[in-house]
Structure 1
Amino acid sequence: MKPILRKVDSGNNSFSIREDIYPFLYNHWHYHPEIELTFIRKGTGIRLVGDSMAPFEDGDLILLGSNLPHMWRSDSIYFKNIPTLNIEAIAIHFREDFWGSAFMQLPELRSIKEMLDIAKRGLKITGKTKDIVIDAMEKNIHVTGSKRVEFLLGILDIISRTNEYSLLATPGFNKTYDLTTTDKINLIYTYTFNNFKNNISIKDAAEAASLSPNSFCRYFKTRTLKTYWQFLLEIRIGYACKLLIENEKSVSQICYECGFNNLSNFNRQFKSLLNITPLQYAKSYTVHVHTFVA
């Protein structure tokens, strides 16, 4: 299955500002020509952007460039129909040329244009810049008339003037990813998210995508620029980080819940990916939170 081309409805406006409240997010591996700015007001899960995989949580602010494949998937608990549990987000979608092809060529907007080019890899916006942009988004959900355009231009200008962001997809992703080719990646992602806590083999994952093991390995590396085992490890470690932050289970319990067979391997793989042990990670997060609150 190729990444789904999503059509964004802007109503009678030139671009879309939308507040979403859903039981969960699971919008499949997709892309659209609109640039997307998403603020996760409430919710946790896994975010895929190009060849980047990371947890998302309350307060995340993500800018995605045009036609960048991505996917938001809520944690498994959100699929259990718990009435008090939901996802809240504000999303803005706009085409780069919605204000006319000549507008972005103005010399005064060069920094914004350059920033939107960088956003083709995806940006996670952080620090004070994130706080300022989120505040503006909350205050302008229902803005109308010319104030809509003024608001959007204002927040793009703020983002273009900061270095408080991290890049998501690798530089090579957009150069190698072909949106027009037949793509089974969504089947693989779905199977992996549903089974990462279990003992997964290459054969099992390949069967989910109707591929032979050898074809599966070649295919996955071509589509994502990483091996399947690396991808699976990132999902398991990402879930472990979430459980460590919640601080409701021991490191040993978390190890087995995330799909690892023994504690020493879990510690080794965790440190190889994050350069810190699970216990150190949990302690550092606790210290950070206590310092912030103080």
Structure 2
Amino acid sequence: MKPILRKVDTGYNYSFSIREDIYPYLYNRWHYHPEMELTLIRKGSGTRLVGDSMEPFADGDLILLGPNLPHMWRSDAQYFQGTPGLHIEAIAIHFKPDFWGNGFLQLPELKRVRELLEKSAQGIRITGRTRQEISTLMEVILKAGDVKRISLLLNMLELIAQSKSCTLLSHIGFTRSYNPENTDNISAIYNYTLDHFQQKIGIRDVAALVNISPHSFCRYFKSRTLKTYWQFLLEVRIGHACKLLIENKLSISQICYTCGFNNLSNFNRQFRMLTGMTPTQYLKTYMAGLIPSE
């Protein structure tokens, strides 16, 4: 299975697409498209994968993606259970980097925007005050027409380009080496892992899923993602643990076993290795407002 090439409909008489999505759950397939993408998760939670980046997302998640950068938003498990009233809401803008016409981005006034579009090849997460400003403008652009659409999009890109509240998501080594045209089973592997990370997972189980020998699987996964499968599985488990710590409804011991770890000492060690702090320190840091919730 290859990452799906998703065709984006720009709509009649428009040069780029603006779409409001209200679904029971988010599209959960590893995919890419030639358009850039600016997505606001107005409501919903789950796991976001961009290139070799894996992070939890929640209400207010705002991401800028470059062309052909593989990505996936996967809603949390409860969204797939048909819970009444539980749904996701998102606004997505898709545009090709050159839709303005040849030479437009070469204008000296657009240097920062041009540099932003180049950085977006790694995926960019926007937070803080910039996220609030862009979120407001995305609600406005939903109803805008004609020249207003273009001016609003340019305004948003300029705000992001000037912001200091932006984080690059995927490593540049991944974006330079990844070929989206290669036949790929990563989507199936990702989904299986996100469905079963709370249980014991063996390489044989995942390898059998995509009809690859266990020996070849390890090499295959690392060549596609630039990390081992065990590193990816650990990131999924620790990412979920961080989310549970922030919710503050379970004890650290309960979180340990809920996230698929066999003992508390190993959980604490792995958590510290990945985050630089213990689960207790992480919770205290979040409660002190030093870890952003958006």
TM-score by length of 1: 0.96
User: By how many angstroms is 1:216 displaced?
Assistant: 0.4
How many residue pairs end up in the alignment?
291
Residues 94-149 of structure 1, C-alpha deviations (whole Å, 9 max, x = no match): 11111212212222212111110000000001222111111111222110111111
Q: Which residue in 2 is equivalent to 1:5?
A: 5
Q: Corresponding residue for 2:66?
A: 65
Instruction: Give ranges in structure 2 of 5+ residues lacking alignment.
Output: none
Q: Give, in whole Å, the separation in 2 of the partners of 1:157 and 1:248.
A: 40
CA distances 1:261-293 after superposition (whole Å, capped 9, x unpaired): 11111111001100111122222222329x99x
Taking the aligned partners of 2:87 and 2:68, their CA distance within structure 1 comes to 27
- Corresponding residue for residue 88 of structure 1: 89
**Share of identical aligned residues, percent?**
60
Deviation >3 Å, runs of 4+ = none
- For 1:4, the aligned partner's letter is I
* Other structure's SS at 2:288 match: helix
| Inter-partner Cα distance in structure 2 for 1:193 and 1:209 | 16
Name the counterpart of 1:263: 264
Residues 160-187 of structure 1 deviation map (CA, whole Å, 9 limit, x = unaligned) = 1122211000010122111121111111
Equivalent position of 1:34 in the other structure:
35
The one-character-per-residue Cα deviations of 1:211-236 (angstroms, maximum 9, x if unpaired) are 11111000100000000000000000
Alignment of 1:174-213 (within 5 A): 174-213=175-214
> Is the deviation greater in 14-23 or in 231-240?
14-23
* 1:96-111 correspondence runs (5 A): 96-111=97-112
Report the alpha carbon displacement of residue 158 of structure 1 after superposing the two structures with TM.
1.1
Opposite residue 224 of structure 2, the aligned amino acid is R
Q: Distance in 1 between matches of 2:226 and 2:38?
A: 25
For residue 167 of structure 2, what is the aligned residue in structure 1? 166
Which residue of structure 1 aligns with residue 251 of structure 2? Answer: 250
Distance 2:232 2:27 in 1: 19
- Whether the 8 Å contact between 2:28 and 2:75 is mirrored in structure 1 is no
Let me know the Cα RMSD of the aligned residues: 1.5
- Equivalent-residue separation in structure 2 for 1:121 and 1:85 (angstroms): 31
